């Protein structure tokens, strides 16, 4: 279960959202400037709302009513940014292992070899990010976030920069993540085909307001 409540203002933009997703994969949809990325940043702890509460599978990450605001590292959020942000001075294996640095020491963790195999990264481990295609970079970014053993995985338009062939490829990898690791996912998308294929729940935002929520299961 994913529950997000937030009231936030940034300049002239005001966000007021209340979302409860019963399934494990929530899609945020809506036009540019609707507040989708702002909502992701609130879940990640990168933006603090004036009032808000974030809960993931019973773990409360933020509750301003009682002064609870876990720092980003303690929230155990894996974030795949739209810009990907791979470290250009580290080869693929080192980029992946960087994510492992943020995994909690106690409890089960995502196995490195399993993640590499699932995302098809074995042939890429010794390559530099500059030598990767867009789809390969996306898989590495997802793998790095996954290896942080996140409580929740956030993806900000993870397929926006890819052509149709690569988009279908990465979609299949994200489906595997959802099914194999059972990690809750919140992702931003403008494409109905992606939403229908991946999401259990959808929230549509417009001008900082949630104008529609529904279950797709």
Render pLDDT for 36-55 as a digit per residue (tens, 0 to 9): 999 999 999 999 999 999 99
CA 37, CA 39: separation in Å to the nearest integer? 5
pLDDT at 189: 87
pLDDT at 175: 85
Cβ contacts of 165 within 8 Å, gap of 6 or more: none
Q: What are phi and psi of 96, to 5 degrees?
A: -65, -45
Q: Could you tell me the CATH number of the domain that includes residue 115?
A: 3.40.50.300
pLDDT at 60: 97
What's the structural domain count of the chain? 1
Enclosing domain of residue 48: 2-215
Question: Which residues does the chain have with pLDDT short of 50?
Answer: none
Q: What is the pTM of this model?
A: 0.90
SS3 content of the chain, % helix, strand, coil (to 5): 35, 30, 35
Cβ contacts of 21 within 8 Å, gap of 6 or more: 1, 2, 3, 200, 201, 203, 215
pLDDT at 197: 87
């Amino acid at each position: 279960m994913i529950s997000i409540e937030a009231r936030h203002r940034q300049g002239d933009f005001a966000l007021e959202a209340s979302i409860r997703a019963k399934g494990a994969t929530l899609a945020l949809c809506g036009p540019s400037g609707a507040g989708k990325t702002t909502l992701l940043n609130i879940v990640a702890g990168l933006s603090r709302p004036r009032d808000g509460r974030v809960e993931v599978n019973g773990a409360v990450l933020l509750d301003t009513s009682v002064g609870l605001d876990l720092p980003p590292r303690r929230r155990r959020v894996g974030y795949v940014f739209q810009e990907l942000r791979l470290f250009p001075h580290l080869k693929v294996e080192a980029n992946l292992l960087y994510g492992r640095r943020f995994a909690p020491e106690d409890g089960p963790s995502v196995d490195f070899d399993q993640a590499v195999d699932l995302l098809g990264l074995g042939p890429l481990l010794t390559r530099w990010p500059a030598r990767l295609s867009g789809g390969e970079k996306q898989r590495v970014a997802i793998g790095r976030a996954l290896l942080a053993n996140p409580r929740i995985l956030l993806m900000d338009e993870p397929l926006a920069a890819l052509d149709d062939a690569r988009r279908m490829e990465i979609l299949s990898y994200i489906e595997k993540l959802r099914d194999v690791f059972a990690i809750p996912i919140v992702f931003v998308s403008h494409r109905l085909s992606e939403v229908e294929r991946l999401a259990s729940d959808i929230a549509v935002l417009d001008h900082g307001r949630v104008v529609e929520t529904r279950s797709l299961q």
